[in-house]
Structure 1
Amino acid sequence: MLKWIFGLLIVIAAVAGGFWASADKDMKALISSLPTDANVLFWSVEQRDAGFRALDRIPILAKSNIIAKGDTVYPLPKGEPITIGTDVDAYMKAQRTAGLVIVQDGKVRLEKYGLDFDAAGKWTSFSVAKSFTSTLVGAAIKDGYIKSIDDKVSAYIPDLKGSVYDDVTIKQLLTMTSGVKWNEDYADPKSDVALFNIHKPEKGVDVTVSYMRKLPREAPAGTKWVYKTGETNLIGVLVSSATKKTLSRYLSEKLWAPFGMEQDASWLIGSTGHEISGCCIQASTRDYARFGVFMLGGAKVNNVSILPDDWIAPATSKQADIAVPGKGYGYQWWTYDDGSYAAQGIFGQGIFIDPKRNLVIASNSNWPKATDPDTVGVQREMFYKAVQAAVDAEAKPIGK
């Protein structure tokens, strides 16, 4: 997903004056075995273990904006340990889990860490960031920066005018149903998801906009679902353009500070200064869990929702058919037919939210592969079901 020039830049950073004096153990672990390929997908497992907790601290490799926390912290009190009908330690080992936090009825029912990670650390989100980005669209509508979800995208990003995006609405971007042709194959070096991150933009044009406005149409807008990280990046450009604020600042103002996240977070920025909105928030596992709690509570700050009244229900329910039984896609959320929904990123990042059970499962991992739906993916789905079953068993009257 992230086609950065890793190898060369890390070498430059490693030999820069004073680097080793300030490098922490995560950086030393990463640089001790430099990747030879430019793509994070081809890093070794050990390099990812170090890099995923430190992407925003690799000099030169990536710049980032701070998502500032506030003065108060939303409490996550410790609850009774939950009894899950599966071996949690074995599950975490199989998933290569760095952090796992289960919150139910507002209390932490389970919190465990692995891979020498802990509650103070921050792990990269990958595409979990997409769900934060879509939430900022809702906030921008509530604040009046964006008039309607049915507005055309090019009305907010003038450099898209004259492209296929003249026919695409904000809602179609959110649901990834633009009908614009796109290849998200992470293993293909000629795919769009690989090429658009190394694209050289025209002067004065955002790199994502420059690449996306040249794409052709393959289906009428609104008729075909295709997963497109590039379009989430367009959403980020749209929100920044509409609000005249960076995504990091807007996220801090609307949610991170007033709701009470425990730590500052960061968001990597691309070559033209916009956050990589389809990816790359660095935050603690507990704060990812707090985002789930925030959504469960109606996205409220001081008892007032930051989102329009008609936002959460459609955002977190099936708006697009993804050809997988029991699942769908909402506004940058993966949806389940039982009413639960999730933010998900490659290598096992996730926030699973179940409103019926008042349940949040936040996890950060380093799967052996970026995506592997038939092994670790199935294991995660089974774990979610096991936790749901444990909550149901507690609620069942004795003797029933």
Structure 2
Amino acid sequence: MKFNSYIKSKQRTICALGSIGLAVALLSSCGIFYKYPTINDYTQFPYTAIHHGDSVYHFKPRGNNDISQLLVRGQGRDRDTVDLPLDTYLQSTRTAAFVVIRNDSVLFEKYYNGYNRNQLINVFSISKSVTSLLTGLAIEDGYIQSVTDPVTKYVPELLSGDAKFQRLTIEDLLNMRSGLKFNENYGSRFSKMAKLYYGKNQLGQIKKMKFAHEPGSVYEYQSVTTALLGIVLEKATGKELGKYLEEKIWIPLGMEHDATWSLDDEKHRSAKAYQGLNLTAIDLAKIGQLYLNKGKWNGKQIINPDWIKKSTTPNVNNEGYQYQWYSMDEWYYTKDGPYFPDSISAAKAMQQTKYDYYDIKKQRNGKWCVLAYTNAFYAMGYMKQVLYVDPDKKVVVVRIGEIGDVELGFIADELVNKL
């Protein structure tokens, strides 16, 4: 399955801010008028400052291998498929920053549309994946005993809400199986998503929510699920999410720039764990490199490699989503095409392939196809913020920007496969 198609199939679930069709959101209770969300939206919210340390780590400088002219597949003016040089392609889209790291070296780093390498940009739902990283660290530090703990152990305020909160575990939150009744689309200014994003007091909102499903039973991508996970972390650690990130990741990884994490308001100071991280592209690449190195950084184990493995091993029963990270997938083709007459022959064929994880699916035509998962994984945010990691090719790719006129599928299957 090509990455373009994969993004399209996930579009309704991965957007941290709901529907792309949103043009205006207004909450009279806030007294603020907000236009279409942008990567600079964070300037409208209070935040936690995340400071880098005195020691700064720099990736190795790029060599003589210039990939700016590497051809990638894009779309021409008539929407026909054409091959364009990478640099031309990026200039033609609303890309702000594009970084490629291979073997700990900068292979490509360039900024467009008036942005520069020192500029903070909101990465929207990539924040979810970083929240997962902090969850693993909180368990190592003993702030959280286990992912099987109920959330009410750390957020007792929920005991007065729906009884199902007492059966909701941290792992349910990590796997987007909260069961909460919540519509991710906030095309209406009165929707739950709009209220969560623009409103104040996240915990106060969540306490009033009901459940559509038993916790743990149904996978459904919801930003409110990660919002609650962030609250669990802040309650458990006794620290603002941004400050815990500063302590555990920002300083140890030698980030080059300060960052911020947006809050619900100044009074409650609860981090928007689902979309509020604002940072530079080069520092985001370091988080990808940390995962590529299985939790090790500059010779030191920052986080348990078992947590990295759990976060990046495809969860076939969860659409390849686990612990707030996506696994890359592709349709499996034989020389005769993608179809099998039955599930038994499909399973038999897959035993002879390189794939360890796959999902056999029956199609409308009565035949069977196989969705196979590769070793690559990624974090993704609204307007196609991407942190892509390919362990086999030792490559990390960061794309930050806004939605352009053409798809960005080359990030995986057009660019990385040519390096």
TM-score scaled by length of structure 2: 0.74
Task: Quote the offset at 1:353 in angstroms.
Answer: 0.8
Q: In structure 1, how many angstroms separate the alpha carbons of the residues matched to 2:27 and 2:89? A: 34
Structural mapping, 1:14-53, within 5 Å: 37-41=33-37, 48=38, 52-53=39-40
Q: In structure 1, how many angstroms separate the alpha carbons of the residues matched to 2:315 and 2:207? A: 25
User: Which amino acid in the other structure matches residue 385 of structure 1?
Assistant: D
Q: Counterpart in 1 of 2:54?
A: 71
| Counterparts in 2 of 1:289 and 1:119: CA distance versus 1, 3 Å | same
Matched, 1:116 2:101: no
Preserved CA contact (<8 Å) 1:7 1:38: no
Tell me, what secondary structure is at the counterpart of 1:335? Answer: strand
Preserved CA contact (<8 Å) 1:84 1:386: no
Q: In structure 2, how many angstroms separate the alpha carbons of the residues matched to 1:240 and 1:73? A: 27
TM-score scaled by length of structure 1: 0.77
Task: Quote the offset at 1:5 in angstroms.
Answer: 5.4
Q: Counterpart in 2 of 1:383?
A: 411
Deviations 1:43-101 (A, max 9, x none): xxxxx4xxx34x45x4xx32111111011122212233236332213432453100000
User: Which amino acid in the other structure matches residue 62 of structure 1?
Assistant: F
User: Which amino acid in the other structure matches residue 131 of structure 1?
Assistant: S
Q: Counterpart in 2 of 1:229?
A: 223
User: Which amino acid in the other structure matches residue 390 of structure 1?
Assistant: K
Q: In structure 2, how many angstroms separate the alpha carbons of the residues matched to 1:208 and 1:387? A: 40
Q: Counterpart in 2 of 1:274?
A: 270
Matched, 1:348 2:334: no
Alignment identity in percent?
A: 29
Q: Counterpart in 1 of 2:257?
A: 263
Preserved CA contact (<8 Å) 1:352 1:360: yes
User: Which amino acid in the other structure matches residue 234 of structure 2?
Assistant: S
Q: Counterpart in 1 of 2:241?
A: 247
Structural mapping, 1:366-381, within 5 Å: 366-367=402-403, 376=406, 379-381=407-409
Q: Counterpart in 2 of 1:220?
A: 214
Preserved CA contact (<8 Å) 2:202 2:264: no
Structural mapping, 1:137-216, within 5 Å: 137-162=135-160, 163=162, 164-197=164-197, 207-216=201-210
Q: In structure 1, how many angstroms separate the alpha carbons of the residues matched to 2:374 and 2:316? A: 16
The one of 334, 355, 358 equivalent to 2:394 is 358
Preserved CA contact (<8 Å) 2:27 2:190: no
Task: Quote the offset at 1:361 in angstroms.
Answer: 0.5
Q: Counterpart in 2 of 1:81?
A: 66
User: Which amino acid in the other structure matches residue 285 of structure 1?
Assistant: A
Deviations 1:161-207 (A, max 9, x none): 2422211110110110122222101424343212334556xxxxxx2
Q: In structure 2, how many angstroms separate the alpha carbons of the residues matched to 1:95 and 1:242? A: 42
Q: Counterpart in 2 of 1:126?
A: 124
User: Which amino acid in the other structure matches residue 342 of structure 1?
Assistant: Y
Q: Which runs of 5+ in 2 are unaligned?
A: 1-16, 19-24, 73-84, 329-372
Preserved CA contact (<8 Å) 2:240 2:271: yes
Preserved CA contact (<8 Å) 2:199 2:264: no
Q: Between Structure 1 and Structure 2, which shows a larger proportion of helix residues?
A: 1
Higher mean displacement: 272-281 or 185-194: 185-194
Preserved CA contact (<8 Å) 1:240 1:246: yes
Deviations 1:265-317 (A, max 9, x none): 11111122111111122211111111111211122346343323421111123
Q: In structure 1, how many angstroms separate the alpha carbons of the residues matched to 2:178 and 2:59? A: 39
Q: Which runs of 5+ in 1 are unaligned?
A: 11-36, 42-47, 201-206, 369-374, 392-400
